[in-house]
Structure 1
Amino acid sequence: MYAFTNKSVLSMAIAMAISTSAYANDNNNKNDKENEIEEVTVVAKPTSYANNVIDPAMMEQQSSVSSVLSVIDNLPGISINEGDAFGGDDWSTTITMRGFSIDGNQQQLGMTVDGVPNGGSNYGGGAKANRYLDSENLETVEVGQGTSDIKSASLEALGGTFNFISKAPSFDKGTTFAYTSGSNDASRYYFKHETGTIFNNTQAYVSYSQTETSRWVGSGSNGGKDNQHGEVKFVSDFDELTVTGRLSYDDVSETNYNSVTIEQFNQSPDWDQLTWNWTGVPHYDQMFAEGWGTLRENTLGYLKFEYALSPLSTFTVTPYYHNNSGRGDWIPPYLASPVDELGNPTTEGGTNAGSYGFTDTNGNPLAPNALCTATLSWPWDSGTGLNPACYPDTAIPVMSYRHTHYEKNRSGVTANYQLSIGMHDIEAGLWYEQAERDESRDWHKVINASVNQRFDDTPYWTQYKNTFNTDTFKWYAQDSMALGDFTLNLGVKQYLVDLDKYDHYQGATTAEVNSDSDVLLSGGLLYQATDFIELFTSYSENFSAIKDGVFEADSSDLSAIKAETAENIDLGIRYQTNALKLTATAYSITFDNRITFIAPGSDAGGIDYTIGTNGTYLNVGGIESSGLELSANYMVTPAWSMYTSYTNNSSEYKGNAPGFTAGDAVIDSVEDLFVISSDYYSGDFRLGLSAKYTGERGDVDSYTVLDFNTGYSAEVETGPFKSIDIAFVVNNLTGTSYLAGGTGNGSTYFIGAPRTAALTFTANF
């Protein structure tokens, strides 16, 4: 194997070395280094843009049942909210950073796994990192706030990126078994086998987990999460060539949490308005929790080939494949009456000519009593006459079970070339991907709405069926120049994105758009002022391509929609010694051409289940964000460490649109975030406490959540076990009641999870 002298690789090694505890002993043994990785504490890498890497203690603050998204919540500028403490519902997951969001309506932050693109973070055909990676197999997370790594493969990286890195296989053979039991009927089994070194050049592991939880809201028949997850990874060394392969599979069924208004929360802060007992009255049963579901399967695999062309140059190529399939469920309190363009009844395509919630004993639709509907109105009625008081006693209630089906196939490749020559570190590469996404929606009749939600497998109406194709090509180049104590970075990149929509009922391509970016510039300057202090500044132009979701709204004027762009400026300082690490970053961001969905007019009191392809996407100004991020990590003693971070962020809208005006604070953006945590280690025993303050968001009150963790880990010299570990985690220790992430519209929010505990026993043998 060539001895690498690449400056970028060397700088990473130095960063990891100076970030290691002052009390950790230097050891050149390869296996010992692998064991020591858990002791590495990195606040930020020495780059010209703001970034953070998680501290291993942040992983211990979350139970193994929790999703991998939760471990980055204490980093500066970031707010992670999931429907419960275990990440049991993708529908209610929200992520915000510097005024940018990932939620049900917006995807403005990039996400990758081992540098491989995740395929988007949206609900319909996307998948966040928790679908690809179990918490036990997570090595670390690299976060680029504002300005991302130039080679990051994402079409959503307006406000930064998250790169989740999986653990490398061990050089030692071993097997791990873990069992977790927790609040809300949580149980989890985890198994992992490490092969150690085989064939003299290969290490590999295989893991499997099964997780079950119940919704924390309500009781009885209330739904929850059922998740099967498997991973395989190997690394093989062939002199100058290293081959890494990874395959993950995830199959999950989730019952959703519902968002509520501030008024509803104040009335009942532990109820999301969903019900857990079937009543036989469609008006109530449309809110039956088990009728609100997310079912997904995700398979992602890649092969990475890293070839040392010379002692000064490397070439890496990573082909990958991803399949995403599943559906989203909803349970409308009526049957639809679909008709074609001529007004004739149809089972495919067309529009809904009307709805009815009750029939006679022969199945004929009944009209509500005119006097009754004129004087009696229910919430969510929307004019369909859902009140049983409006019908004779012999009337039979009817309901639908609405399925939206998602299928996505992606295949692509990333390639990167690095060369160190003189004062230059040169990097260039590309990303190419072809993605095909199918989406259809069908309506099934609930067999007997008086009894339960069971539905007829054969749909009575398939509302639409479309295929979306996206071709993506990105190229980039960057030169990092060492100029004494200064390092200057200059880079360019460009995205070339083509999208089209094929309507299966029209039998034609009905929409297509080119979403190419301009050549985007980036640059940065890093100054090593002393052995302990470095100053940095950077500028980057970021880009988010038009999503295929805009094709779902038939009335959108595609020729008028522009891709979203952002200009990011960072200015900061880092101070690092063996015991103390400080980072301060000031930033300014201008976000233009914000794409927003404008829903069609409907009854304000009801859910529009038949919205289908109605509505419009358009550009509505943008956002301006500025703020300050601070973080510190201090080793008080060899056994005791303290961590804190503070963020002050101001994000305001530019331009007017329904729901806000220019100058208004961005919905769901938090002005103040403050974290303080402490971790103590004494021999085999550990103890941690973490508190996070989240400031006000518009009319939503501020709140503070306290998390507690403790554990015991020990080597075992007798019996079949090599070591054991017992971990106990309590999230929201004080039982704070609060509203967490929003839906992006400023009117409803998800209720924060209550006190939640989990106990995990792990055995290695």
Structure 2
Amino acid sequence: MYALKNKSILSMAVAMAVSTSAYANDNVIEEVTVTAKPTSYANNVIEPAMLEQQSSVSSVLSVIDNLPGISINEGDAFGGDDWSTTITMRGFSIDSNQQQLGMTVDGIPNGGSNYGGGAKANRYLDSENLVTVEVGQGTSDIKSASLEALGGTFNFVSKAPSFEKSTTFAYTSGSHDASRYYVKHETGTIFDNTQAYVSYSQTDTSRWIGSGSNGGKDNQHAEAKFVTTLDELTITGRLSYDDVSETNYNSVSLAQFEQTPDWDQLTWNWTGVPHFDQMFAEGWGTLRENTLGYLKFEYAISPTSLLTISPYYHKNSGRGDWIPPYLTSPVDENGNPTTEGGTNAGSYGFTDSNGNPLAPNAGCTASLNWPWESGPELNPACYDADATPVMSYRHTHYNKDRLGVTANYQASIGMHDIEAGFWYEQSDRDESRDWHKVIDARIYHHFDNTPYWTQYKNTFETDTLKWYAQDSMSFDDLTLNLGVKKYLVDIEKYDHYQNATTAKVNSDSDLLFSGGILYQLNSNTELFTSYSENFAAIKDGVLERDSSDLSAIEPETAENIDLGVRYDNNALKLTATAYSIEFDNRITFIAPGSDTGGIDYTIGTNGSYLNVGGIESKGLELSASYMLSPQWNVYSSYTNNNSEYKGDAPGFEAGGKVIDSVDDLFVLSTDYYSGDFRFGLSAKYTGERGDVDSYTVVDLNAGYAAEVNAGPFKAIDIAFVVYNITDESYLAGGTGNGSTYFIGAPRTAAVTLTATF
């Protein structure tokens, strides 16, 4: 391969090389670690120790939690439930209602992070195959391929195959019935120019809340990757497959948490009373399959220019489950009973022996109060003894097919480092919802496989084209970069029951400008400042809602300003960034009124989306990494953030604090290495969020790694991790509406035994 002089290419190579080296040959910490690349905007790259702070059974999302400005919360310590996963950064969020942060894997777009048809990085990547995560706070890399990158991006980078042949087996056992099997085979160099690996894992956990039949996670995951070098051309291919079944955690109110801080209101014993059994944990499920494959062609056109082209394909399928405590009576537009489309004319909770709906006995007004108030129509006491309770098992089906390509050209011409490229993707997403009759609600939730009503069936087609260009100009110690990008996004909704395209929207952006200055003050210190215009396209979910006025909805935009300094003298590395963000045209879902007093299971395509002002965020991010000795490192980060709403909307008030945004985050961790032994301790303080109390979680990790070269063994490793060792009781991430939050995971331990042959 030709040697490349492009500074952006070199900085990436340095970051990758350092991130893959946690130790020197004598198992001391490397003297050089990377916390940020030399760019004009705020960014961070995880330190090697952050990988060791997490168990291999945990989600790859967890490794970035200690970086400044970021808060990662999952339903349990192992990331066992996507429904309860929340990510916040600088007042922007990924949760069940919002997707404002971009996510890619090896630069390949993840297809969105939403629950309905999206997939976060943990669906594509096992922790053992992760080398680093590149985080762009606020401003993202101009070539980042995402339609959600309002507040920054996360790029999860997979490991390159090894040049040496080996086979690795690992077994993990942990709290809450956690077990995990992992195997990986490295081919070493084959055909004189190719390295490859294939891996497989099986992960099982139980929900930490409750006992007995309380659900959990069952996950199969496989990956394969190869790299082939042909003179000036390097070809990389990667394929991942993930099949998971998860039982959800439920969010609770502040009052519920104060009453029972270790219970999320879901149950694990079947009662035969549908009003109560709608909270049966195993009825709240997420089932997903994700297959993502790409090829990456990197061609060195000359010693100073590189062309990269990456076609990819992603297939997502699955469903989400709930168990409503009644059967519905669907009718068509003429009021006749139907099994497809139409609306619900009424619901009933009891039938006679012939399956005919029953009304409560006259004069009975007794209501049921838990989990929420329900009138006599669901109370067994208001029916004769021979009445039969009925329930539904509601499935929402998600399917998505994405086919796309990214292309990037980089060249160094004199004082100019030029970068230009595009991203194109065509996506088809199917969503339908069907209702199945629970065969006998008195016994269990076994359901009839044939639905009695398919409520809706829609296909959403999204065509995306992004183009960009950037020039970085070097003037001795000063680098100036100027960039422009534009998104062209078209979305259509096809209603299969109307046999017609019923909605379409153009979600193109304006020309989005970015610029920055990087000044090398001396050999240890650099100053940077940047301005960027960020964009999030209208989501296809907006077209789901029949009441939305699409002509009045505009895409979300954000203007981000960073001002910072980086210092590095090998032993000590410091980064400080002040930022200011103006987020406009925030899109919010306004739900219709519910007459159930709890979940409106029949909401279907009702409700609407609208723009409701925006958000103003200002803050300061600090991080420091200090080598006390070749064996001992201390890391710390601090974030002060103030995010407030602009404009009033139902549930939001101008000037009010942004829900789930944290004013103060503080991390202090230390890692120590002595020969083959390692030890780490990490503490994170999360400040108050409105009425939610602050909390501090302390984690511990220890391990022993050694090259043995005895018999068939090349190396062994024992890793032990304890999360929340003080068993802190706290509320973690919220649902985006400010009324309910997920309960933080209790003390959780895991041990992993790894052998390499």
TM norm. shorter chain > 0.5: yes
Shift of 1:380: 3.7
1:145 to 134, 137, 147: 137
* 1:226 alignment partner in structure 2: 218
CA contact (8 A) 2:586 2:612 kept: yes
* 1:29 alignment partner in structure 2: none
Shift of 1:417: 0.4
For residues 341 and 22 of structure 1, do their structure 2 counterparts lie closer, same or farther at Cα, with a shift above 3 Å needed? closer
For residues 19 and 247 of structure 1, do their structure 2 counterparts lie closer, same or farther at Cα, with a shift above 3 Å needed? closer
Q: Tell me the amino acid that sits aligned with residue 559 of structure 1.
A: S
Cα separation, 2, equivalents of 1:374 and 1:450: 21
1:372 counterpart SS class:
coil
Q: Tell me the amino acid that sits aligned with residue 170 of structure 1.
A: S
For residues 272 and 447 of structure 1, do their structure 2 counterparts lie closer, same or farther at Cα, with a shift above 3 Å needed? same
* 2:379 alignment partner in structure 1: 387
Q: Tell me the amino acid that sits aligned with residue 731 of structure 2.
A: L
Alignment of 1:239-250 (within 5 A): 239-250=231-242
Q: Tell me the amino acid that sits aligned with residue 220 of structure 2.
A: Q
* 1:291 alignment partner in structure 2: 283
Cα separation, 2, equivalents of 1:664 and 1:129: 32
Cα separation, 2, equivalents of 1:109 and 1:390: 50
Q: Tell me the amino acid that sits aligned with residue 226 of structure 1.
A: D
For residues 38 and 357 of structure 1, do their structure 2 counterparts lie closer, same or farther at Cα, with a shift above 3 Å needed? farther
CA contact (8 A) 2:417 2:471 kept: yes
For residues 196 and 19 of structure 1, do their structure 2 counterparts lie closer, same or farther at Cα, with a shift above 3 Å needed? closer
1:717 counterpart SS class:
strand
CA contact (8 A) 1:380 1:607 kept: no
Structure 1 residue 721 corresponds to structure 2 residue 716: no
* 1:434 alignment partner in structure 2: 426
Shift of 1:720: 1.3
* 1:683 alignment partner in structure 2: 675
Structure 1 residue 732 corresponds to structure 2 residue 724: yes
For residues 384 and 236 of structure 1, do their structure 2 counterparts lie closer, same or farther at Cα, with a shift above 3 Å needed? farther
Using the TM superposition, name which of 388-397 and 543-552 deviates more.
388-397
Cα separation, 1, equivalents of 2:168 and 2:523: 42
Cα separation, 2, equivalents of 1:259 and 1:414: 38
Shift of 1:256: 0.3
For residues 301 and 377 of structure 1, do their structure 2 counterparts lie closer, same or farther at Cα, with a shift above 3 Å needed? closer
* 1:558 alignment partner in structure 2: 550
Q: Tell me the amino acid that sits aligned with residue 670 of structure 1.
A: V
Structure 1 residue 120 corresponds to structure 2 residue 118: no
Q: Tell me the amino acid that sits aligned with residue 292 of structure 2.
A: L
Q: Tell me the amino acid that sits aligned with residue 354 of structure 1.
A: G
For residues 716 and 15 of structure 1, do their structure 2 counterparts lie closer, same or farther at Cα, with a shift above 3 Å needed? closer
Shift of 1:724: 0.2
Task: Provide the alpha-carbon RMSD of the alignment.
Answer: 1.7
1:362 to 330, 354, 363: 354
Structure 1 residue 47 corresponds to structure 2 residue 25: no
Cα separation, 2, equivalents of 1:409 and 1:401: 26
Indicate the percent of aligned positions where both proteins have the same amino acid: 83
CA contact (8 A) 2:19 2:48 kept: no
Cα separation, 2, equivalents of 1:231 and 1:13: 23
* 1:594 alignment partner in structure 2: 586
Shift of 1:20: 11
* 1:215 alignment partner in structure 2: 207
Structure 1 residue 278 corresponds to structure 2 residue 270: yes
Shift of 1:477: 0.1
CA contact (8 A) 1:21 1:579 kept: no
Deviations 1:671-713 (A, max 9, x none): 0000000000000000000000000000000000000000001
For residues 384 and 53 of structure 1, do their structure 2 counterparts lie closer, same or farther at Cα, with a shift above 3 Å needed? farther
Structure 1 residue 306 corresponds to structure 2 residue 313: no
CA contact (8 A) 1:575 1:583 kept: yes
Alignment of 1:316-465 (within 5 A): 316-373=308-365, 380-383=372-375, 385-465=377-457
Cα separation, 2, equivalents of 1:635 and 1:470: 49
Deviations 1:163-221 (A, max 9, x none): 00000000000000000000000000000000000000000000000000000000001
Cα separation, 2, equivalents of 1:3 and 1:227: 43
Consecutive unaligned residues of structure 2, counting only runs of 5 or more, are: none
Deviations 1:79-123 (A, max 9, x none): 000000000000000000000000000000000000000000000
CA contact (8 A) 2:340 2:455 kept: yes
Cα separation, 1, equivalents of 2:600 and 2:461: 28
Q: Tell me the amino acid that sits aligned with residue 669 of structure 2.
A: S
Shift of 1:605: 2.5
CA contact (8 A) 1:522 1:539 kept: yes
1:633 to 606, 613, 625: 625
* 1:68 alignment partner in structure 2: 60
1:579 to 567, 571, 584: 571
1:489 to 457, 464, 481: 481
Shift of 1:10: 2.9
CA contact (8 A) 2:514 2:532 kept: yes
For residues 375 and 188 of structure 1, do their structure 2 counterparts lie closer, same or farther at Cα, with a shift above 3 Å needed? closer
CA contact (8 A) 1:15 1:46 kept: no
Shift of 1:43: 1.0
Shift of 1:312: 1.0
Cα separation, 1, equivalents of 2:203 and 2:478: 50
CA contact (8 A) 2:525 2:567 kept: yes
1:107 to 99, 105, 127: 99
* 1:753 alignment partner in structure 2: 745
Cα separation, 1, equivalents of 2:666 and 2:411: 41
Cα separation, 1, equivalents of 2:600 and 2:325: 11
Shift of 1:12: 4.1
Deviations 1:225-262 (A, max 9, x none): 00000000000000000000000000000000000000
Cα separation, 2, equivalents of 1:309 and 1:49: 29
CA contact (8 A) 1:20 1:578 kept: no
For residues 705 and 253 of structure 1, do their structure 2 counterparts lie closer, same or farther at Cα, with a shift above 3 Å needed? same
* 1:512 alignment partner in structure 2: 504
Q: Tell me the amino acid that sits aligned with residue 157 of structure 1.
A: A
Shift of 1:392: 0.9
TM (normalized to structure 2)? 0.98
Cα separation, 1, equivalents of 2:490 and 2:436: 35
Shift of 1:370: 3.9
Shift of 1:718: 1.6
CA contact (8 A) 2:24 2:30 kept: no
* 2:6 alignment partner in structure 1: 6
2:122 counterpart SS class:
helix
Cα separation, 2, equivalents of 1:428 and 1:308: 15
2:377 counterpart SS class:
coil
For residues 37 and 167 of structure 1, do their structure 2 counterparts lie closer, same or farther at Cα, with a shift above 3 Å needed? farther
TM (normalized to structure 1)? 0.97
**Count of residues paired in the alignment:** 757
For residues 378 and 370 of structure 1, do their structure 2 counterparts lie closer, same or farther at Cα, with a shift above 3 Å needed? farther
Deviations 1:702-740 (A, max 9, x none): 000000000001111322110100000000000000000
Q: Tell me the amino acid that sits aligned with residue 544 of structure 1.
A: A
Consecutive unaligned residues of structure 1, counting only runs of 5 or more, are: 26-31
For residues 39 and 509 of structure 1, do their structure 2 counterparts lie closer, same or farther at Cα, with a shift above 3 Å needed? farther
* 2:665 alignment partner in structure 1: 673
Shift of 1:603: 3.3
* 1:190 alignment partner in structure 2: 182
Deviations 1:637-682 (A, max 9, x none): 1100000000000000000001121000000000000000000000
Cα separation, 2, equivalents of 1:600 and 1:320: 39
Q: Tell me the amino acid that sits aligned with residue 465 of structure 1.
A: K
Shift of 1:2: 1.5
* 2:754 alignment partner in structure 1: 762
For residues 578 and 375 of structure 1, do their structure 2 counterparts lie closer, same or farther at Cα, with a shift above 3 Å needed? closer
2:733 to 720, 738, 741: 741
Shift of 1:375: 6.9
For residues 718 and 359 of structure 1, do their structure 2 counterparts lie closer, same or farther at Cα, with a shift above 3 Å needed? same
Cα separation, 2, equivalents of 1:468 and 1:752: 35
* 2:470 alignment partner in structure 1: 478
CA contact (8 A) 1:18 1:578 kept: no
Q: Tell me the amino acid that sits aligned with residue 288 of structure 1.
A: F
